[in-house]
Amino acid sequence: YVIEAISTETGQYYTSGNSKIDARYTYTIPGELGYIFEGLFREDGTTPINQTLVHTLRTDENGSLQTSEGDPVSALEWGDATPGNHERKWFGFSIADPQPTVDPNLGLGGQQQGEAEFDWVGAAKKCIGISWDPDGRVFDSQSLEPIPGTSVTLTKKRISGTFTFVNKFDPNDVPTGVLTNPYLTLEDGGFSFFVLDGTYKLTPQVAGYNFPSSLTLNPNYSKIYTNIYPLATGIEIVEKGGPQHRDIPVDSVGGQPTYFPIKMMEYSYQSDRISSVFIDGRVSHPLATINAYSVIPDSNNPEVKVRYKLAKTVKADKVGRFSLVIDQSAFDKNKSEIFGEVEVIKADFGLSASDTNSTPLVLKLNPILTYIEGDTSSQGKVLPGAKVELLLSSSTKPYYETVADSQGHFKIPSDNIPFMPYKLRYSSGGTVASVTTSKFVTDNSTNIKSKKTNLFYPQYSNPKINDSIKKSIVAYNKELNSSQNDSNVENSGNQGASGNIPSGPMTSQSTSKNLIFVVIVLVIAILLIGVGVLGVYLIKKKQDSSMK
């Protein structure tokens, strides 16, 4: 199956576009996202690919993508819509029913889900984000902070020369009937419309602020905003075949700068299944400082994690996007050190007024272990012969199942561990215990230290794969670090007509209406035997001739 992952402020949600597949594997899309699936299509953009529980894509003996009938597929187009901007990613997902393992130390293999990985390093260098037309942000002219709760109304110039409301129920205005107008900005102050060619105006309204701005802009505005509306661009916006970007300053009543709490707008959190994890996200405020910290158990209460070391610092770009790569293999196993926190600090733009909402945002995460070995336990008691289930954080159906031995000991090799966040569940008799990966490390800290078990280094069931990884992991990490440095070079964000588009992971931003081209090609199959490996190499706006 081809699965879409949609980033939100609470993590990622997944869908195949088919309700029966989603129900079977307990994928859920919150209703408040307003998500509309429009279809999965072949290269021509019209021939549908209907994914069902028995009708799926597949790969041939060479790893090339095919339909279930065996026809070769070189590209896929995925269409969907949401009212707000959300980052998208796509991946392949397969189901296998392996036989019980011969080695009792590995437990019994139950039904296993598996995922085809992205080429993360290549994607970070090749893919771009997209905004639609007109798009931009509403911001305080003095503090430069985005203004939430602004109602932005779009009007269109008619033949008579007057501007009237763009109505989504009028097919001459919006043939698809999908448009949010007026657009209510969130904490990032952003708005975005997907409309036909024509001449438009934007009118923002928010209590306590005046538009248009009459005060002198904070001189640091040029570090963040472009195409200042209407002072630098004029009041009319001519949309003709391409995105139009407008950033809109407003003045607070009284002229004093205003400040708002910083918020995580969306994020994704995934592993390369070797030793590193990737956190890609977007915060509400531009140029924020992003700090990643490791944590260790509190000496007085091991269940509580306390901040230990600063693992990495990066800067968000002009639209708040950031990308972190954390090498988990560098953590101190003797201290049960794990990755656990992301701290976000607003940028200071040099005004004398005091920021009353300067408290940093802290996002707490559980580590994504690359290998699992330890004992099952609940409330300090070992659970001999317990069933062990590995579940994706977004799912209630086991991704992988095994059984602990008579001492409660079990292993899950890297073959059977996903790149997405997950948890464990133990079942023994009437006892059912849900265990986060953080708690697993804490509960097994003594054995991890004595046996020198490395949960952040891959150990596959095939020794040849392990040998290959050992030979290449140094070069791999070097490339990762190079990609990380490249992705954090200051860029301008999505600036529409100004032509400045940021680099980033394979993502797309969607607004009131978008059709996205997703070219999925096979990458490498060395880490997943029997699973096709897909990558999203291109995301671009569909040119719908029926709308022109």
* 182 vs 12: which has the higher pLDDT: 182
Q: Is the pLDDT of residue 22 over 70?
A: yes
Structural domain for 428, as ranges: 372-451
pLDDT at position 352 is 60
pLDDT bin (cut points 50, 70, 90) of residue 215 is very high
Instruction: Answer whether residue 464 is part of any domain.
Output: no
List Cβ neighbours of 83 (8 Å cut-off, separation of 6 or more): 34, 180, 511, 512
The count of other CB atoms within 10 Å of the CB of residue 144 is 24
| Distance (Å) of CA 426 to CA 390, 414, 450 | 9, 19, 24
Instruction: Answer whether residue 426 is part of any domain.
Output: yes
Instruction: Answer whether residue 538 is part of any domain.
Output: no
Instruction: Answer whether residue 526 is part of any domain.
Output: no
The count of other CB atoms within 10 Å of the CB of residue 458 is 22
What is d(CA 129, CA 506) in angstroms, rounded to the nearest whole number? 8
pLDDT at position 88 is 86
pLDDT bin (cut points 50, 70, 90) of residue 518 is very low
Distance linking the first and last C-alpha atoms of the chain: 33
Instruction: Answer whether residue 442 is part of any domain.
Output: yes
Instruction: Answer whether residue 183 is part of any domain.
Output: no
Q: What is the mean pLDDT of the chain?
A: 80
Q: Annotate 236-278 with DSSP letters as a single string.
A: -EEESSS--B-BEEEEETTS--------EEEEEEEE-SSSEEE
What is d(CA 13, CA 17) in angstroms, rounded to the nearest whole number? 12
pLDDT at position 82 is 85
Residue 24 host element (H or E): helix 19-24
Average pLDDT score over residue span 109-131: 42
Backbone angles phi, psi at 297, to 5 degrees: -65, 140
Q: Is the pLDDT of residue 28 over 50?
A: yes
pLDDT at position 475 is 61
What is d(CA 538, CA 133) in angstroms, rounded to the nearest whole number? 20
Residue 428 host element (H or E): strand 422-428
Residue recorded with tokens 């579940």:
391
What is d(CA 156, CA 201) in angstroms, rounded to the nearest whole number? 6
Instruction: Answer whether residue 439 is part of any domain.
Output: yes
Q: Is the dihedral of CA 329, 455, 527, 51 positive or negative?
A: negative
pLDDT tens-digit series, residues 304-323? 899 999 999 999 999 999 99
Average pLDDT score over residue span 187-202: 93
What is d(CA 360, CA 281) in angstroms, rounded to the nearest whole number? 16
Residue of 106, 112, 101 lying closest to 410 (CA atoms):
106
pLDDT bin (cut points 50, 70, 90) of residue 473 is low
pLDDT at position 538 is 30
Degrees to nearest 5, angle at CA 319 with 90 and 394: 35
Instruction: Answer whether residue 432 is part of any domain.
Output: yes
Note the pTM of the prediction, 2 decimals: 0.77
Parallel/antiparallel/unpaired status of strands 248-252 and 135-140: parallel
What is d(CA 213, CA 210) in angstroms, rounded to the nearest whole number? 6
pLDDT at position 503 is 28
pLDDT bin (cut points 50, 70, 90) of residue 392 is confident
Q: Is the pLDDT of residue 363 over 80?
A: yes
pLDDT bin (cut points 50, 70, 90) of residue 545 is very low
CATH number of the domain to which 377 belongs: 2.60.40.10
Residue 80 host element (H or E): strand 76-81
Q: Annotate 436-454 with DSSP letters as a single string.
A: EHHHHHHHTHHHHHHHT--
Q: Annotate 88-107 with DSSP letters as a single string.
A: EEEEEEEEE-PPPPS-GGG-
What is d(CA 85, CA 180) in angstroms, rounded to the nearest whole number? 12
Q: What is the CA radius of gyration of the chain?
A: 25
What is d(CA 365, CA 310) in angstroms, rounded to the nearest whole number? 15
Q: Is the pLDDT of residue 490 over 80?
A: no
pLDDT at position 498 is 30
pLDDT at position 324 is 95
**Structural contact between residues 276 and 311, judged by C-beta atoms closer than 8 angstroms:** no
What is d(CA 278, CA 176) in angstroms, rounded to the nearest whole number? 36
Domain total for the chain? 1
pLDDT bin (cut points 50, 70, 90) of residue 243 is confident
> What SS3 state is found at 128?
strand
pLDDT at position 96 is 57
pLDDT at position 477 is 58
What is d(CA 386, CA 366) in angstroms, rounded to the nearest whole number? 23
pLDDT bin (cut points 50, 70, 90) of residue 457 is confident
pLDDT at position 124 is 39
pLDDT at position 483 is 55
What is d(CA 3, CA 91) in angstroms, rounded to the nearest whole number? 5
pLDDT tens-digit series, residues 143-171? 999 999 999 999 999 999 999 999 999 99
Q: Is the pLDDT of residue 386 over 80?
A: yes
Of 75-89, 371-385, 532-546, give the range with the top mean pLDDT.
Answer: 371-385
List Cβ neighbours of 421 (8 Å cut-off, separation of 6 or more): 11, 269, 270, 365, 366, 368, 392, 393
pLDDT tens-digit series, residues 263-319? 999 999 999 888 899 999 999 999 999 999 999 998 888 778 999 999 999 999 999
pLDDT at position 83 is 79
Average pLDDT score over residue span 484-495: 42
List Cβ neighbours of 56 (8 Å cut-off, separation of 6 or more): 1, 68
